[in-house]
Amino acid sequence: MLKVFYGRPHNMCGLSPDEVKVYNFLDGLGIEYARVEHAPADCDEVRREIDLALVPAVACKNLFLTNSKGDAFFLLVMRADKHITGKTVARQIGSTRLSFAPAEALKRYLNGVPGSVSVMNLINDCEGRVELLADIDVYTSEYMRCHPCANTASLRLSSADVFGRFVPATRHKVRAVRI
């Protein structure tokens, strides 16, 4: 069973600069969060342990997408148990067909790597190149779960804090979509 902590780690040694930046940013906004540390969250067993530890948070899947021209980028935060096609969301936002953006664009705009990206990576998009899209079920949930820019920790945050305080503080807006 994973141990739940509240707030930042006491010992920040060994954490990535982006993970430390997330904790500093959240603390600076006065946003409360629960945290668990775990093995890389790349298998079902680890994800089940995280789900149990951070209940009732909605588990999220984060997709970094681009339009067919490759000139617009989107971070889609959706329930982990849902599946989409590029047409489903593209139609709602008035875009050409969406597909996965290249890893180079993920690194360039969000300083992220596949498997670790989350809404927290918006702190790295100083140019405002990425538009945030949120599944309505995540947007309206009481709590959501995300990584702090590292897939060896997970956070439970109030969705109202994420979308109402964190996202605006990064100078982004959120657009709710139905999946």
Evaluate whether 30 touches 8 at the Cβ level (below 8 Å).
Answer: no
Identity at 164, one-letter amino acid code? G
Beta bridge partners, 137, equal none
pTM score, whole prediction? 0.94
pLDDT category at 1 given cuts 50, 70, 90 is confident
51 is in which domain, residue-wise? 5-177
Residue pLDDT, tens place only, 71-113: 999 999 999 999 987 788 999 999 999 999 999 999 999 999 9
CATH of the domain at 120: 3.90.960.10
Residue pLDDT, tens place only, 46-72: 889 999 999 999 999 999 999 999 999
- What is the Cα–Cα distance from 110 to 125, expressed in whole angstroms? 5
Q: What is the average pLDDT value for the chain, to the nearest integer? A: 95
What domain count does the chain have? 1
Residue pLDDT, tens place only, 116-175: 899 999 999 999 999 999 999 999 999 999 999 999 999 999 999 999 999 999 999 999
- What is the Cα–Cα distance from 104 to 101, expressed in whole angstroms? 8
